[in-house]
Structures are given as structure tokens and as C-alpha cells.
Amino acid sequence: MTPNLRICPRCGHENVSKALWCFQCGLDLNGPPTLEKVARTQRVGSGVWRLAPNITKETPPDHKKPLPPSVDGQPLTCLKCGTLNQPNAERCTGCQQPLIVPDDEYHYVTQGSARTSIGQVRSNNEDNLNLWASNGVLIALIADGMGGAVGGEEASRLVIEAVQADFLGEPRGSLQLHTMPEVELGRRLAEAIRDANRAVIDKVQADSQFKGMGTTSTLMAVRENRVLVAHVGDSRAYHVDAQGKITQISTDHSFVQALVSSGHITEEEARSHPMGNVLYRALGQGIELEVDLYLRFVRAGDHLVICSDGLTRHVLPLEIGSFVHDAANPAEATEKLIALANKRGGEDNVSVIVIQIIDKSSPAELTTLDLK
């Protein structure tokens, strides 16, 4: 068993140490004990319920609700209670917490879509992604695992769960994200990635079958007219302006990118370089981890993109910008980008998140709103 984990007494899921609620079943890990399911000593059916010592008969209610019906892509997780909502839900269906709502100054809202695909070659998906929201702050994450089918999938899963554990629930400050100082929010994002890195390393040390596993992590927080990105690896974050011009926000921590930056090879040569997937910085490589932080400003009509290298292997940045700009909405953009990558070979898992910035001001407010 991996050290520093919180084992759920209901479902047995190994949660990261900071988790307040079980990622798998939603049980309050700090709440009263619950019923324990144990196997019979003699096989007479699948099992029985018995009370563990010194506990009550009441089973705490689920903290995490079932998936909403007909979700188009990844659902949106409420940062207050963990309920899964439709991607553009204005309020959480579980606790009524405001989710995707206009900010007080710019009146911007985000419209997001997140999708992942196994691709056309791989037998399993080592990518993981998620969307969270509270009080108009949207947090998005893509982690691209590596280290073999089992290891890569486990590493990227740990990133999602570690980040959620750092932000989910009022004790984690989920209701203050919209007013938190920018420096503090950036620190929280970077620390969440470092916590995820420690979770990956703990898993490797506890179980030799995961030796060599690692993952990228590109974590984004969108608030008002600002975007903060905490980044490690070669998944990417892009900014697409209202005219469709695309700019890469993050810098790849890859051997090939280092060659490009030093002028030894061109961008064109980098796309076919045999060492294109070799990273010099990733989660799981060591306990000390440097996390890059970026700040960008956005305006109404802009889009933000996070993607794994399964997309950029087959689709050029200019094409990404064009598809995102021309799509009717982020859901259409993510669907078409993944379809294009798969059409061109789908040699790796493909994951993409597209976020649109929308101005919800009235026409009268637009005349006085400073968008600079």
C-alpha cells in the first residue's frame, strides 16, 4: 500500500493524503464512520454488511453525485461539494453554488469543453483531464501519463485527484478563489502540481511495477480577464485571440524544444525528430520539481486551449487556432480537433480543452467597460 494515502472505508479507493472526500464514491473522509463490507469466511453469497467497532448505523450521504444526463464531454466539478454538472452549468445541482457566472468587473463568463480519445493506435488512454468551477473561476487540467500502459494511466490519474484534493471544499478555500490575491492563486496552482508529483513518487516507491512512470501537468485557472497557467512537461497551453491568431503560452520541457530554443534545429525539423517525446522535466522524476507559472490577459471573443501532445503531433498550431476560431462553440471545437488528429493517424491518446471568453454585459454597459 502506498504511504500517506487515505483509504475510503466505503469503497476502498486509495485517495491522496490531502483528500477530504473520496474521489471514487464521494464519502466524507472526515465524517463519521460508515458500514463496512466484508467477505464471509465461508462462501455463502457475495458478502455481508457488519458494523465496524464503535460506529453508528448511519451511512453518511454521498458527497459526489452521479453523472448528469447526456454530458457532452467532461463534466464540470463543483469545487464546493464535488457534484458533477453539465460543462456550462451556472449553478451546481447539488449545493446551488454559483459556478459559471459573470465576474463583477468585466462581466466575463467562460464556456468550456474537455474531451479525450484513446486514439487509433494505443490500447488504453494514459491521458486524464478535468474541469472544476466555483464563483466564476474555472480550473482546467490535462495530464499526459508515461511509463507504460499501467504506469502512465496511474500517474495522470494521481494528478487529477491530487489537484482536486488541493482545491475541493470550503476548508481548501474553494469559495475564496474569486477574491484570492493573484500571487496566492498562482502559488496554489504550483503547489497543487508539486503535491501531485509527491503522490506519483510515493506510488512508485510503494509499488515497483510503477517504476519509471511519470506525467505532464498543465493546470489553468481563468478568472475575470486573467489566465494563470502552472505547467510541467510538453502538454501545451495556447491563447487564441478573437481574430484566430494563436500564441503558445507554455514552453515544452522537452529535449527537442531545447534544441529549437538554442537554434540547433528548426520548428519544422522538431516535428519529425526521433527524440520528440523525451522530456527533461516531468512529474515523477524527483521530489524537487520546478513549476513554470504564466500570466495572460484575455478579452471577450478569445479562446484558451490546453492539449496533450497527441493533438500537436498531428495538428499544427495554426490549424488549432483556425478550428477553434471557426467553431460555433468549444464543444464543436474539441470534437473536430480530436476527429482530425485521429483521421491523421491518432498515434497517441488525444486530449483537448477549449475555453471561450464571453462578455455578458448589456449594450449599455459596453460603452463604459474598459477592456484594455
Q: Using alpha carbons, select from 222, 362, 217 the residue that is nearest to residue 303.
A: 222
Q: What SS3 class is residue 344?
A: coil
| Rounded Cα gap, residues 69 and 30, in angstroms | 30
Strands 127-134 and 76-78: parallel
Q: What is the per-residue DSSP string for 21-85?
A: B-TTT--BTTS----EEE--SS-SSS-EEEPPTT--SPPPPPSSPPPPTT--SSPEEETTT--EE
The DSSP symbol for 106 reads T
Quickly name the fold that domain 76-366 has. Answer: Phosphatase 2c; domain 1 (3.60.40)
Q: Using alpha carbons, select from 190, 80, 183 the residue that is nearest to residue 135.
A: 80
* Residue-level pLDDT at 32: 77
Quick one: cell of 139? 480550473
Sign of the four-CA dihedral 258, 262, 263, 267: positive
Q: What is the per-residue DSSP string for 190-250?
A: HHHHHHHHHHHHHHHHH-GGGTT-EE-EEEEEEETTEEEEEEESS-EEEEE-TT--EEE-S
| One-letter amino acid of 151 | G
| Rounded Cα gap, residues 166 and 81, in angstroms | 13
DSSP element (H, E) containing 155:
helix 149-167
* Residue-level pLDDT at 145: 97
* Residue-level pLDDT at 2: 59
The DSSP symbol for 121 reads S
* Residue-level pLDDT at 59: 44
Residues lower than pLDDT 50 in the chain: 35-61, 364-372
* Residue-level pLDDT at 63: 54
* Residue-level pLDDT at 40: 34
Sign of the four-CA dihedral 153, 310, 306, 269: positive
- Residue ranges per structural domain of the chain: 1-64, 76-366
* Residue-level pLDDT at 281: 96
Quick one: cell of 367? 460603452
Which residue has cell 496511474? 154
Beta carbons of 109 and 91 less than 8 angstroms apart: no
The DSSP symbol for 1 reads -
Beta carbons of 324 and 307 less than 8 angstroms apart: no
* Residue-level pLDDT at 156: 97
| Letter string b/e over residues 153-169, b meaning 16 or more CB atoms within 10 A of that residue's CB | bbbbbbbbbbbbbbbbb
Quick one: cell of 372? 484594455
274: left (phi over 0), alpha (psi -120 to 50) or beta: alpha
CA dihedral 130, 26, 93, 303 (to 10 degrees): -10
| Rounded Cα gap, residues 315 and 310, in angstroms | 9
